[in-house]
């Protein structure tokens, strides 16, 4: 298990008070593969994704990135490690700061890592083109764009740092068929170029069969 | 057969500070007893506004033109657009019901489900004792009726909202994205419930962006694009052989078909082009498309894919 | 074909916009008067005119004179200056204290949060005017003591508001997205959380100004506030009491009315601002 590439959760247990959300759950995603995670809502899938994204420290168990244990409370994990894992959430409205324009939204991860302004501008333009966002749309704030356009901006943001892994939590459930297909195409393209590992949480059987290389039913216990 | 609901030439515009939003433009459709019409389209195309316009629930900066005539059972026809608030209040609930989009915001948080349901039943002249029965039909365990809305999960709240809409047994039911954010089994249950109501005689207008849901239960489908109806045909015909290029492209985007996105993006409702709104993204477009197409055989297109008159 | 505007609003837009305009005009007039008075009509605080005691309102003295012959209207304007100034500064001090406490409680959480909130509850249980009197009595009565007294008793609501806002924002996905994108803790606080908290804090501070003015007035009325010869509204109401028995109602009523009108205007504007801040009222229409 040492130095094997991949993002893996090992025996993760998370409880809130007496309520156990995750009980010794394990999951692994390899570079370049798309893992579909299937199961009813409210059973802990979102919590597992947050643990894998290094946003939440589990009560027991640990997360390994390429064989190295990386668990910690949010800010004790170095930013250079955190940015290797991107997250895409279900509801773009609550995943986007309503005060920022789409440009600032997408540029935020780059600015947080102190990239020089011209590098930021170039990368934002690249991402906008990849996700089909025009300059006119980029200037707007979230309330002035549709859900589909906003989710594409969130996707651009998640891909800003060329993450090695992308975790999608019901990311296309609120989208129409065309936007969903577009989001899938952009993620797949990124995957081909950068060998990205993708975890896809969804309850749409057609989507999971079409998009995932490997399907896991909840709860996942194997590594 | 007289339609239960007849919408003719409906247009809704919103005045914003520096622009006008054309949410619905020149929309006409009919809904009959026992028919389930699904209005599908991407988010932002105006379909929710249609439901709110019919119910008279639009904000003050909305301008509505056109007619929407309701033909209730055993009562004279009523013109909904422009009807006074008092008249609309007698119609809402009893004759037209609404299953709203986000139940969390439409349930009174300080009353239990049972209190809300029995009140609804009593106001509309039905026996309050039926509360358990109505809840069960909507898939809600009667024990959960004694909880407050914040104690219910998203799915249970949606079932409660559905039960509240069904309780007065209206002749026309508008369902605005009733399955958004729900698990597949609950989506199917809600759709089947609407279908059962439909078979029992209710006219149902289902607004959704989920094509699979429409395919499951709809009798007819109206595809909306940029505030207009692009195609309005029987469901089986539409899914088997779509006539409008937008419908065909939308079906192609489904994961169980080509999973191919439509290039480009829809026009903003504040800046609709003069001709066919889909022309910039359409593979069939030519110079004729700079003029608005007329609707023939349910399709608003200069170059329909299926020859006119064919299935 | 009926062309008309739909009558029933889906969202109740702020009622009484006219009221807010009225309140704004009143407040603007009051502030303007306060600013101009020392330039146009300066007051000698210690001047008395013992030959004009307790004159009823007349053309020469629109609000009459008090029991030392001083023009009531003139002193009311000066008093308003002091009261508004003290009120504003004290509200700011309270906001800073409350903001700091709320921010620590909301971000650190855990035991720190619990302890801080119990402190808030304890202070809230004490009658704040008594506490204010206690504080002033500990220090020598002066402008600074008054400001501190108000500041230390009025920080509670700001603390609760800031803490609540932070707790609700911390779990939103957009904060997760920022952390995932590499934002440091400092950046999350300053770029993502603070901009959302500040508007509410500013509103709470504005809502506190009337309270601060009242508190100062009460302290001065009790003789624990500003030095008695200074024209502060509280002092004037206190002094005017003595004249009430002889029927000179104008000495107390004029400063009293000034407080009421100005604080109502501030409160009305703040309420209007609060309604506008409500995201549901403000949201653009979702189609």
| Angle at alpha carbon of residue B281, lines to B276 and B283, rounded to 5° | 95
Instruction: Give pLDDT < 50 ranges for chain B.
Output: 309-311
Q: Give me the interface pTM, i.e. the ipTM.
A: 0.89
Contact call for C183 and A74, based on CB within 8 A: no
Which uninterrupted H or E stretch holds A13?
Answer: strand A7-16
The pLDDT, as a whole number, for residue C16 is 52
Residue B38 CB contacts under 8 Å (≥ 6 apart), including other chains = B206, B207, B208, B213, B214, B217, B218, B220, B221, B222, B235
In the stretch 5-34 of chain C, residues with CB closer than 8 A to chain B read: 5-11, 13
C139-153 pLDDT, tens digit each: 877 778 888 888 888
Average pLDDT of the residues in C70-95: 86
pLDDT band, residue A182 (cuts 50/70/90): very high
Contacts 24+ apart (CB under 8 A), B113-120: B113/B140, B113/B144, B113/B145, B113/B146, B113/B147, B113/B148, B113/B149, B113/B152, B113/B160, B113/B163, B114/B145, B114/B146, B116/B160, B116/B164, B117/B145, B117/B160, B117/B163, B117/B164, B117/B167, B120/B93, B120/B164, B120/B167, B120/B168
A10 vs A27: CA distance, rounded Å:
7
* B141 domain residue, yes or no: no
Structure tokens at C150: 């108000």
Identify the pLDDT of residue C277. 67
pLDDT, tens only, C99-139: 999 999 988 888 899 999 999 999 889 888 888 888 888 88
Domains of chain A with bracketed CATH: 7-217 (3.40.50.300)
> To which residue do tokens 């439409």 refer?
B106
Is the CB of B251 less than 8 angstroms away from the CB of A177? yes
Distance from CA of B94 to the nearest CA of A (A): 31
Specify if B140 maps to a domain: no
Which helix or strand (DSSP H or E) is residue C96 part of? helix C72-108
| pLDDT tier, C206 (very low <50, low <70, confident <90, very high otherwise) | confident
Lowest mean pLDDT among A201-210, C79-88, C162-171, C224-233: C224-233
CA nearest A216: which of A28, A5, A59, A88?
A28
Residue ranges of alpha helices (H) inside A55-146 are 79-82, 92-95, 102-112, 117-130, 135-138
- pLDDT at position B104 is 67
Q: How many domains would you assign to chain B?
A: 1
Taking CB atoms and an 8 Å cutoff, what residues of chain B touch A176?
Answer: 41-43, 209, 250
Residue B257: domain span? 1-32+46-85+209-311
Tokens representing B182 are 């729900």
Q: In the structure, what pLDDT confidence band is assigned to residue C13 with cuts at 50, 70 and 90? A: very low
CA dihedral C207, C209, C214, C216 (to 10 degrees): 150
Interface test with B, best of A40, A148, A176, A180 (most B CBs within 10 A): A176
Contact between A87 and C180 using a beta-carbon 8 Å cutoff: yes
Residue in C181, C195, C287 nearest the CB of A109: C181
Q: Do C287 and B23 touch (CB under 8 A)?
A: yes
- What pLDDT band is residue C5 in, cutting at 50, 70 and 90? very low
Is A148 in contact with B256 (Cβ distance < 8 A)? no
Residue B254 resides in a domain: yes
Q: Is C165 left (phi over 0), alpha (psi -120 to 50) or beta?
A: alpha
Cβ contact (<8 Å) for B255 and A210? yes
Phi-psi region of C51 (alpha: psi -120 to 50; beta: other; left: phi over 0): alpha
Q: Are the CB atoms for B130 and B164 separated by under 8 Å? A: no
List the single residue in A55, A96, A97 with the smallest CB-CB distance to C180: A55
Q: What is the pLDDT of residue B241?
A: 92
Closest by CA position to C80, among listed C35, C24, C146: C35
In three state form, how does the secondary structure of chain B look? CCCCEEEEEEEEEEECCCCEEEEEEEEEEEECCCCEEEEECCCCCCHHHHHHHHHCCCCCCEEEEEEEEECCCCCCCEECCCCCHHHHHHHECCCEEEECCCHHHHCCCCCCHHHHHHHHHHHCCCCHHHHHHHHHHCCCCHHHHHCCHHHCCHHHHHHHHHHHHHCCCCCEEEEECCCCCCCHHHHHHHHHHHHHHHHCCCEEEEEECCHHHHHHHCCEEEEEECCEEEEEEEHHHHHHCCCCHHHHHHHHCCCCCCCCCCCCCCCCCCCCCCCCCCHHHCCCCCHHHHCCCCEECCEECCCCCCCCCCC
DSSP string across A153-216: HHHHHHTTT--SEEEEESTTTTS-HHHHHHHHHHHHHHHHHH--EEEEE---HHHHHHH-SEEE
Cis peptide before A219 (omega within 30 of 0): yes
Among C6, C10, C278, which would you mutate to test the B interface (most chain B Cβ atoms within 10 Å of its Cβ)? C6
Q: Which residue of C has its CA nearest to B68?
A: C1
Distance from CA of A196 to the nearest CA of B (A): 20
Q: Does C110 contact chain A (CB < 8 Å)?
A: no
Residue C78 has pLDDT above 90, yes or no: no
Could you tell me which residues are beta bridge partners of residue A88?
A168
B81 falls within a domain: yes
A and C: number of Cβ contacts within 8 A: 76
Residue B271 lies in a domain: yes
The per-residue pLDDT for A167 is 96
Exposure on the CB side of residue A196, measured as CA atoms within 13 A: 27
pLDDT tens digits, one per residue of C35-61: 888 888 787 777 777 777 777 888 878
C113: phi then psi, degrees, rounded to nearest 5: -60, -50
Q: Is the pLDDT of residue C263 over 90?
A: no
Reply yes or no on whether the pLDDT at C8 is more than 50: no
Q: Say if B96 falls within a structural domain.
A: no
CA distance C247 to C242: 10
Pick the closest to residue B238 from B226, B221, B225, B213 (CA basis): B221
> In the complex, which subunits touch B with 3 or more CB pairs below 8 angstroms?
A, C
CATH code (residue B301): 3.40.50.300
Tens digit of pLDDT for each residue in A25-53? 999 999 999 999 988 776 788 889 999 99
The answer to whether residue A80 neighbours chain C at the CB level (below 8 Å) is yes
**C3 → chain B, closest CA residue:** B65
Interface test with B, best of A155, A181, A185 (most B CBs within 10 A): A181
- The residue-averaged pLDDT of A109-128 equals 94
Decide if A222 contacts A57 (C-beta within 8 A).
Answer: no
Please indicate whether, in this complex, the C-beta atoms of A112 and C283 are within 8 angstroms of each other: no
Assign C228 a pLDDT band (cuts: 50, 70, 90).
confident
Q: Quick check: A82 and C179 CB within 8 A?
A: yes
Q: Do B25 and B11 meet the contact criterion of CB atoms below 8 Å apart? A: yes
Find the mean pLDDT for residues A195-208.
91
Residue B247, in any domain of the structure: yes
Residue A112 clears pLDDT 60, i.e. is over it: yes
**Residue B158 forms part of a structural domain:** no
**Integer CA distances (angstroms), A203 to A31, B185, C1, C225, in order:** 23, 9, 46, 67
CA nearest neighbour of B251 among A171, A203, A178: A178
Q: What is the pLDDT of residue B40?
A: 93
A-to-B residue pairs, Cβ atoms closer than 8 angstroms: 75
């Amino acid at each position: 298990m040492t130095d094997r590439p991949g993002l893996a959760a090992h025996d993760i247990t998370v409880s809130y008070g007496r309520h156990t959300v995750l009980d010794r759950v394990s999951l692994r995603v390899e570079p370049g593969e798309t893992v579909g995670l299937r199961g009813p809502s409210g059973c802990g899938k979102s919590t597992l994704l947050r643990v894998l994204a290094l946003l939440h420290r589990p009560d027991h168990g640990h997360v390994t990135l390429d064989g190295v244990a990386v668990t910690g409370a949010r800010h004790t994990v170095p930013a250079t490690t955190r940015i290797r894992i991107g997250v895409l959430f279900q509801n773009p409205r609550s995943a986007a700061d309503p005060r920022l324009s789409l440009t600032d939204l997408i540029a935020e991860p780059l600015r947080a890592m102190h990239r020089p302004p011209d590098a930021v501008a170039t990368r934002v333009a690249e991402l906008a083109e990849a996700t089909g966002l025009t300059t006119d749309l980029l200037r707007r704030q979230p309330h002035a764009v549709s859900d589909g356009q906003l989710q594409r901006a969130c996707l651009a943001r998640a891909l800003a740092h060329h993450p090695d892994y992308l975790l999608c939590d019901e990311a296309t459930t609120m989208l129409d068929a065309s936007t969903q297909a577009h989001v899938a195409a952009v993620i797949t393209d990124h995957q081909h170029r950068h060998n990205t590992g993708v975890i896809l949480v969804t309850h749409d059987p057609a989507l999971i069969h079409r998009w995932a290389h490997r399907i896991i039913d909840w709860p996942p216990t194997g590594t | 057969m007289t339609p239960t609901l007849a919408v003719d030439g409906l247009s809704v515009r919103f005045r914003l500070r520096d622009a006008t939003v054309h949410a619905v433009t020149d929309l006409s459709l009919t809904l009959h007893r026992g028919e389930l019409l699904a209005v599908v389209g991407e988010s932002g195309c105006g379909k929710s506004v249609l439901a709110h316009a019919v119910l008279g629930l639009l904000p003050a900066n909305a301008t509505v033109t056109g007619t929407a005539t309701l033909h209730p059972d055993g009562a004279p026809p009523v013109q909904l657009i422009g009807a006074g608030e008092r008249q609309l209040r007698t119609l809402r609930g009893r004759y037209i019901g609404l299953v709203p989009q986000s139940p969390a915001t439409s349930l009174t948080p300080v009353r239990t489900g049972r209190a809300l349901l029995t009140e609804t039943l009593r106001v509309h002249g039905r026996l309050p004792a039926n509360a358990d029965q109505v809840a069960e039909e909507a898939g809600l365990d009667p024990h959960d009726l004694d909880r407050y809305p914040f104690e219910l999960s998203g799915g249970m709240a949606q079932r409660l909202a559905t039960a509240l809409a069904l309780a007065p047994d209206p002749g026309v039911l508008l369902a605005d994205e009733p399955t958004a954010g729900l698990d597949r089994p609950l989506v199917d249950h809600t759709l089947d419930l609407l279908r059962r109501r439909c078979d029992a005689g209710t006219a149902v207008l289902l607004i959704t962006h989920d094509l699979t849901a429409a395919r499951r239960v709809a009798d007819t489908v109206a595809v909306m694009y940029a505030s207009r109806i692009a195609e309005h045909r029987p469901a089986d015909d539409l899914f088997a052989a779509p006539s409008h290029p937008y419908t065909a492209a939308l079906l192609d985007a489904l994961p169980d078909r080509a999973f191919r996105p439509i290039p480009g993006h829809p026009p903003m409702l504040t800046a609709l082009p003069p001709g066919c709104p889909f022309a910039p993204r359409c593979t069939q477009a030519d110079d004729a498309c700079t003029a608005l197409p007329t609707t023939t055989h349910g399709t608003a297109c200069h170059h329909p894919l299926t020859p006119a008159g064919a299935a | 074909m009926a062309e008309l505007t739909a009558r029933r609003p889906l969202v109740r837009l702020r009622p009484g916009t006219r009221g807010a305009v009225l309140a704004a005009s009143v407040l603007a007039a009051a502030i303007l008067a306060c600013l101009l008075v020392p330039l146009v009509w300066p007051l000698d605080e210690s001047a008395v005119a013992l030959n004009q005691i307790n004159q009823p309102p007349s053309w020469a003295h629109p609000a009459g004179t008090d029991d030392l012959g001083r023009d009531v209207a003139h002193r009311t304007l000066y008093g308003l200056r002091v009261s508004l100034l003290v009120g504003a500064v004290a509200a700011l001090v309270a906001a800073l204290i409350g903001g700091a406490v709320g921010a620590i409680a909301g971000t650190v959480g855990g035991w720190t949060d619990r302890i801080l909130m119990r402190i808030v509850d304890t202070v809230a249980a004490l009658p704040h005017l008594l506490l204010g009197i206690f504080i002033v009595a500990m220090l020598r009565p002066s402008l600074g003591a008054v400001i501190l007294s108000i500041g230390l008793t009025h920080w509670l609501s700001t603390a609760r508001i800031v803490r609540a806002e932070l707790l609700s924002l911390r779990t939103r996905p957009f904060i997760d997205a920022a952390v995932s994108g590499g934002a440091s803790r400092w950046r999350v606080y300053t770029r993502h959380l603070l901009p959302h908290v500040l508007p509410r804090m500013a509103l709470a501070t504005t809502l506190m100004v009337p309270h601060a003015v009242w508190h100062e007035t009460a302290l001065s009325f009790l003789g624990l506030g500003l030095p008695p010869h200074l024209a502060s509204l509280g002092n004037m109401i206190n002094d005017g009491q003595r004249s009430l028995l002889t029927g000179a109602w104008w000495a107390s009523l004029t400063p009293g009315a000034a407080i009421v009108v100005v604080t109502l205007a501030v409160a009305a504007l703040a309420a209007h601002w609060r309604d506008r801040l409500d995201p549901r009222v403000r949201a653009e229409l979702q189609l």
